[in-house]
Chain A
Amino acid sequence: MARPLRQSLIAFMTVAGLWAAPAWAAGMRDAVSSVDIFRSIGIAASVAGILLLILVQYVYRKRLSHSTYHRLLLVGVFLLPLTATWSTTATVMEGTKSVQACRSCHVMHPFVNDMTNPSSPTLAARHYRNNWIAKDQCYACHVTYGATGTLAGKRDGFRHWFHYVTNTYPDPIQYVGSYANSNCLSCHQGTGKWERVKSHQTLVGELSADRIACVTCHGPPHPLPHERTVAMANRDASRRMAGGPDGQ
């Protein structure tokens, strides 16, 4: 095999491997969290990069041919830091899916606390305690399924963060725009229970255009503005978060 070809193949496989690993990790769900794997890869890459540079520069420099020295330097200086950067980004992207990440802004406390309240009748709480969504419960309903869903979800997250740090959000906070029903439909549409309701059939067009919200009939998804008392919400919340889903 010609050398450049082999080189490009190795490069390709490295990159592919870097993408495949997290995908595999994400698939492992409960065993190891994907965030942990991304973080480990990042740390490993950084440590390896520093070690490599030290070894190449101070221990093996004399023993290496000029070209090998340059190549290894290249790996230490560019590729490994790049991997570390990628891993950090992936960790953030993946890590912000977690309920804990959403809860890190205090405006979200009433929402998360309601969700984990075993006697709350809101949609979020029922999905949570019945384990209808196993993990990343906030993200699962706020990502928007479809081609640009993740992008829109992350954009929303960034905007929320921006408003939060600049203190430019209304209190109580309001949902902006029309909620994407695809979040609900991706799981519910087509199930026997869903199909049995005649009105669902006649509303398919309106629902997919988000002109009618599923939560209008089946909501409210979260406590309403006047129900968002932090005192109520904080009660026992941390215990529940630690204990995981319970209740019916």
Chain B
Amino acid sequence: MPPDSDKPRGLTRRELVRVLGTSVGLACLTPLAGCGSFWERQTAIPVDSWHKGVCRFCGTGCGVMIGLKDNKVADVKGDDDAHNRGRLCIKGLATRDILYSEGRALHPMIRKNGELQPASWDEAMTLVARRFKDAIQANGPDSVAFYGSGQLYTQESYTANKLFKAGIGTNNVDGNPRLCMASAVTGYTTTFGKDEPAGCYEDIDHAECFFITGSNTLECHPIIWERVRDRKRSHPATKIILVDPRKTPTARHVDLHLPILPGTDVSLYNAMIHVFLEENFIDADMVEHYLSFQEGEQKRTFDDFTRHIAKYEPETVAKTCGVTAQDIREAAFLFASSKATLSLWTMGLNQQVQGTASNRLVSAMHLLTGHFGRPGATPFSLTGQPNACGGVRDTGSLAHALPNGRLVANPKHREEMEDLWNVPRGRISPKPGHHTVALFDAMNRGAVKCCLVMCTNPGQTLPNVTAYREGMEKTFLVVVDTFYPTETTKFADVVLPAALWVEKEGVTGNAERRYHLYPKLVDPPGEARSDLEILVDLATRLGYGDLIAARTPRDVWDEWRKVSAHSQYNFEGITYERLQKERGILWPCPTETHPGTKRRYVPGQDPMASGTGRFDFYGKPDGRAVVWLDHQEEPLDLYSDEYPLIFNTGRILEHWHTMTITGQAPTLKDIHPDYLEIHPYDAHRLKITDGDPVIVKSRRGEVELRARLSDIVRPGMVFATMHSARHLINQSTHDAHDPFSKQPAFKRCAVSVRTKTV
């Protein structure tokens, strides 16, 4: 149309159709044009960006995706690409809130006139350094100690271990894994010569029989349990056997439950081996080529072993164990006859005076029947904490240990580490340090003057805790924690606020030898610092700045993986770049192109194994794994007329350890674990009704709880959780411990129960 036309214009019919067509087309495109809100379901929690990480809590080590909004953690969901396949348990979900819960420690504090008062970092660290220096000068290096945690990052435990052992010159480095995993360590090392499980989580997908013993997997390793259930869902013929004194939630889903009396595991496993021998389930090739036998310091033969086992006929041990001979035979048959049997265990085995013996007998059952080193066939110890394996066991941050399976008592091992750490020969003390119970005992005696406690709460978790509180009171105690107050800060002279979870960067190693990375995503609150920063600062102030030259998480990791190359743990190939990219890698992993190792000791799969045989147990000089002749000892703390019940302890799904974190999380804090499970039969006899306040009294102390009548426990047994600080069950528990692992026997002591008179 000419521009000068002044005719009024309307739309032609063709134009109208075109406009209408375009509008309809555009309307259809709205979902693509950012008007999605009308078209799509919305996310309940808006997030700016997602980052890969790992759950803060248990040793399962589930992969998480962390959603940030305005530089704060806003949402956490399971990582589809990690081993947990997007699943998380309720604790994992709660990580969304833990950084912002009430009660975070925000400022350094120093005790003045009996009160903890805010101080500056410089003031606090100057005091700590001065007190440590004074103690070392006046009483020698063994008068100071480090008490760490399976929740510190690997870089932190490694640095602390190096500072104390190669710098200060004391082996007084221990930590809460002693209360948790020590018997698993000695179980594995006495059998295979090397610590840590040989198998991996993937074995769950191939097992045809699960032998779960001393583990309430459903509540304590829920995501592993879901994987077990998935196996059963896919292959309903899969059998699950459970050995647990209680009819736990796990017990509801198993095919066979043996409610064994606490502390009688050695009898049970020997009896099962008795059935293996009787029914000819023994793998002769294993016995001939891959196994050796030992009793104490003595070498034994297979015939000696057979004679030893003859004493453990199921019919004989049934009474000791409190289960029927029929069930023992059934369990043994299912275990041995399946195509691939996988054992899972944790605190139930580890926390008893015969913890080491129980651990190695489970391994022996696998070795003798050949249920080892094949997909689905492996003895797999579950770990409680996210970094007990990687951070403490692998770095050797325990009083008797040095990195990568070395021992303080071995002069060659000390020399190797002195060379690797570049310190003069003779720097590392030949004397093993104090293990946990001995350490707190040394504090009682005044032998240890200063102790740095990091990321753990011994004021609540030590067995027979009242006996050690006095020592903590006397010692110059530096407590580094993320929350304040705790039962331990009550005795602290200095409290230092620590960063939590993704407020700092680090690597952890979960139960299946998987190293994975926690990124730093947000800043810690108040003046809190990462534990690594605190250790580096302390090292510098104590004059070991040159020794602790690696000062960032990345540098420490690089140093550490290169140290590992000089051992059969070799994970030099797990570089930071790979950790940032991948969902963790299972060591050994010697080169950057190595995919990681699913099954150890199997030539062709484990880069450390050599030869062409079925196995190469390279941890032992003769290449043979050891089967031990272990005897059942008299169970601990026998009951009497005065203390007629057995007290058993444990955990629930919703809480973590001493609840310092989960007790503040909005989704978890209302779940109270302060109850005593008692069988209605005992309750009736003791005139206790449901909900009554009751006093549980042992030979060491007493604790008040509310009675919960339940047939989860057997008659004659009571149970309480270790979580709550309001009722310290460890005032009653026993501090007796395994002679090899020094792990205390939390799972059994004799008590009486009575109604509290008001």
Could you tell me if A178 and B32 are in contact, using CB atoms closer than 8 angstroms? no
Q: How far is the CA of A162 from the CA of B231 in the complex (A)?
A: 38
Q: Which residues on B sit within 8 Å (CB–CB) of A199?
A: 90, 653-654, 667-668, 671
The stretch that binds B, out of A104-112, A219-227, A232-240, is A219-227
Asked whether, in the complex, the Cβ of A162 is within 8 Å of the Cβ of B31, the reply is yes
B45-A211 in contact (CB<8A):
yes
B654 touches A217 (CB 8 A): no
Q: Which of B31, B229, B235, B667 is the one whose CB lies under 8 Å from A119?
A: B235
* B110-124 interface (Cβ within 8 A of A): none
Contact of A121 with B654 at beta-carbon distance under 8 Å, contacts A224-B85, A225-B80 already known = no
- Quick one: which of A120, A162, A199, A225 has the most chain B CB within 10 A? A199
**With known contacts A159-B31, A216-B77, A220-B87, A202–B41 Cβ distance under 8 A:** no
B32 touches A216 (CB 8 A): no
Q: Are A220 and B236 in contact (CB under 8 A)?
A: no
Is the pair A220, B31 in contact by a Cβ cutoff of 8 Å? no
> Which chain A positions have C-beta within 8 A of B9?
none
Closest B residue to A129 by beta carbon equals B233
Q: Are A219 and B44 in contact (CB under 8 A)?
A: no
Between A159, A217, A225, A226, the greatest number of chain B beta carbons within 10 A of the residue's beta carbon is seen for: A217
A199-B32 Cα distance, complex, nearest whole Å? 39
Q: Which residues of A contact B93 (CB under 8 A)?
A: 212, 216-217
Residue from B41, B42, B85, B233 with most neighbouring chain A CB atoms (10 Å): B41
CB closest residue in chain B, given A199: B90
B285 CB within 8 Å of chain A: no
Contact pick for A217, options B39, B81, B89, B234, CB 8 Å: B89
Q: Establish whether residues B86 and A220, one from each chain, have CB atoms under 8 Å apart when the complex forms.
A: yes
Interchain CB contact under 8 A, B88 and A159: no
In this complex, which of B80, B81, B233, B654 has the most chain A Cβ atoms within 10 angstroms of its Cβ?
A: B233
Residues of A within 8 A of B235 (CB): 119
| Contacting residues, chain A, for B652 (C-beta < 8 A) | 198
**Residue in B41, B81, B231, B668 whose CB lies within 8 Å of A226:** B81
Which residues of B lie under 8 Å from residue A156 when comparing CB positions? Answer: 40-41
From B42, B43, B87, B667, contact of A216 by CB (8 A): B87
> Is there an interface contact between B233 and A178, defined as CB atoms closer than 8 Å?
no
Partner of B234, one of A121, A176, A198, A216: A121
Any B CB within 8 A of the CB of A84: no
Q: Within 8 Å of chain A (Cβ to Cβ): is B78?
A: yes
Cβ contact within 8 Å between B28 and A119: no
- Report Cα–Cα, A226/B634, bound state, in Å: 53
Q: How far is the CB of A171 from chain B (nearest CB, A)?
A: 15
- The reply to whether A176 and B86 form a contact with Cβ atoms under 8 Å apart is no
Residues of A within 8 A of B43 (CB): 177-178
Q: Interface digits, B1-44 against A, CB 8 Å rule (1 contact, 0 not)?
A: 00000000000000000000000000010011000100111111
Question: Are the CB atoms of B41 and A176 closer together than 8 Å?
Answer: yes
Q: CA–CA, A141 to B366, complex, Å?
A: 44
Chain A residues with CB under 8 A of B653: 198-199
Chain A residues near B86: list those with CB within 8 A.
216, 219-220, 224
Interface centre among A168, A180, A198 (most CB of B within 10 A): A198
List of B residues within 8 angstroms of A155 by Cβ: 39
What's the Cα separation between A217 and B40 when bound, in Å? 24
Known: A199-B653, A224-B80. A210 touches B670 (CB 8 A): no
Taking the closest CB of chain B, its distance from the CB of A187, in whole angstroms, is 19
Complex Cα–Cα for A126 and B232 (A): 12
Given known contacts A119-B235, A121-B234, A159-B31, is B42 in contact with A217 (CB within 8 Å)? no
Secondary structure class of chain B's binding surface, majority of residues: loop
**Nearest B residue to A159, CB-CB:** B39
Taking a contact as CB atoms under 8 Å apart, the answer to whether A210 and B44 are in contact is yes
A202–B671 contact, CB under 8 A?
A: yes
Take A178-B42, A248-B236 as given contacts and tell me if A216 and B88 are in contact as well, using a CB distance cutoff of 8 Å.
Answer: yes
A64 within 8 A of B: no
A128–B32 alpha-carbon span in the complex (Å) = 34
B88 touches A217 (CB 8 A): yes
Interfacial residues of chain B within 65-111, with CB under 8 A of chain A in the complex: 77-78, 80-81, 85-90, 93
Contacts of A180 in B (CB 8 A): 41
B222 on interface, CB distance cutoff 8 Å: yes
With CB as the reference atom, state the residue of chain A lying closest to B37. A177
B255 CB–A CB distance under 8 Å: no
Q: Given A212-B93, A225-B80, does the pair A159, B85 have CB atoms closer than 8 Å?
A: no
Measured between C-beta atoms, what is the minimum distance from A46 to chain B in Å? 27
Chain A 81-122, CB-CB to B under 8 Å as 1, else 0, gives: 000000000000000000000000000000000000001110
**Cβ-neighbour of B668 out of A177, A202, A219 (below 8 A):** A202
| Chain B residue contacts of A10, Cβ below 8 A | none
Q: Which residues of B contact A217 (CB under 8 A)?
A: 87-90, 93, 222, 226
Q: Which among A211, A212, A224, A226 has the greatest number of chain B C-beta atoms within 10 A?
A: A212
In the assembled complex, B419 has its CB within 8 A of some CB on chain A: no
B230 interface contact, C-beta 8 A: yes
Q: What residues on B are CB-neighbors of A220 within 8 Å? A: 80, 85-87
* Residue from the list B36, B39, B230 in contact with A121, Cβ < 8 A: B230
Interface mask (B656-699 → A, CB under 8 Å = 1, otherwise 0): 00000000000110110000000000000000000000000000
Nearest-neighbour CB distance to chain A for B13, whole angstroms, equals 27
- Inter-subunit contact B41/A198 (CB<8 Å): no
Residues in B with CB closer than 8 Å to A59 are none
B667 neighbours in A (Cβ, 8 Å): 199, 202-203, 206, 212
CA distance A203 to B671 in the complex (A): 11
Q: Distance in Å from the Cβ of A219 to the closest Cβ of chain B?
A: 6
A152 is an interface residue with CB less than 8 A from chain B: yes
Q: Which residues of B contact A133 (CB under 8 A)?
A: none
User: Does A20 have its Cβ within 8 Å of any Cβ on chain B?
Assistant: no
Asked if A28 is an interface residue, CB under 8 A from chain B, the answer is: no
- Report if A47 contacts B (CB, 8 A): no
Nearest A-chain residue to B222, judged by Cβ: A217
Chain B residue numbers with a CB within 8 Å of A168 are 32
- On chain B, the residues within 8 Å of A126 by CB distance are 233
A9 at the interface (CB under 8 A from B): no
Say yes or no: A202 contacts B670, CB within 8 Å: yes
Residues of chain A in range 166-209 having any CB-CB distance to chain B below 8 Å: 168, 176-180, 198-199, 202-203, 206, 209
Give the docked Cα–Cα distance between A176 and B42 (Å).
7
Q: How far is the CA of A211 from the CA of B77 in the complex (A)?
A: 10
B45 (CB) vs chain A CBs: closest residue = A211
Q: Which of B40, B90, B234 contacts A159 (CB 8 A)?
A: B40
Chain A residues contacting B81 (CB-CB under 8 Å) are 224, 226
- How far does the Cβ of B319 sit from chain A's closest Cβ, in whole Å? 34
Inter-chain contacts of B78 with A (CB < 8 A): 216, 219
**Inter-chain contact B42/A119, CB cutoff 8 Å:** no
Contact check: which of A152, A163, A219 meets B87 at CB < 8 Å? A219
A178 and B67 CA atoms in complex are apart in Å by: 14
Bound Cα distance from A159 to B36, whole angstroms = 10
Instruction: List chain B residues, Cβ under 8 A from A216.
Output: 77-78, 86-88, 93
Q: Give Cα distance in the complex from A162 to B36, angstroms.
A: 13
In the bound complex, residues from chain B placing their C-beta under 8 Å from that of A163 are: 31
Min distance, Cβ A80 to any Cβ of chain B, angstroms: 29
B138-165 interface bits toward A, Cβ cutoff 8 Å, 1 = contact, 0 = none: 0000000000000000000000000000
Contact with B along A136-155 (1 / 0, CB 8 A): 00000000000000001001
Report Cα–Cα, A163/B231, bound state, in Å.
36
Report 7 cross-chain contacts, Cβ distance below 8 Å, ordered by A residue: A119-B235, A155-B39, A162-B31, A178-B41, A199-B90, A224-B86, A248-B236
Further 8 A-B residue pairs, CB within 8 A, beyond A119-B234, A213-B77 = A121-B230, A126-B233, A159-B31, A159-B40, A176-B36, A178-B45, A199-B90, A220-B86
A interface vs B, CB < 8 Å? 119-121, 126, 152, 155-156, 159, 162-163, 168, 176-180, 198-199, 202-203, 206, 209-213, 216-217, 219-220, 224-226, 248
Residues of B within 8 A of A (CB): 28, 31-32, 36, 39-45, 77-78, 80-81, 85-90, 93, 222, 226, 229-231, 233-236, 652-654, 667-668, 670-671
A-B pairs, 4 with minimum CB distance: A177-B41, A121-B230, A121-B233, A178-B44
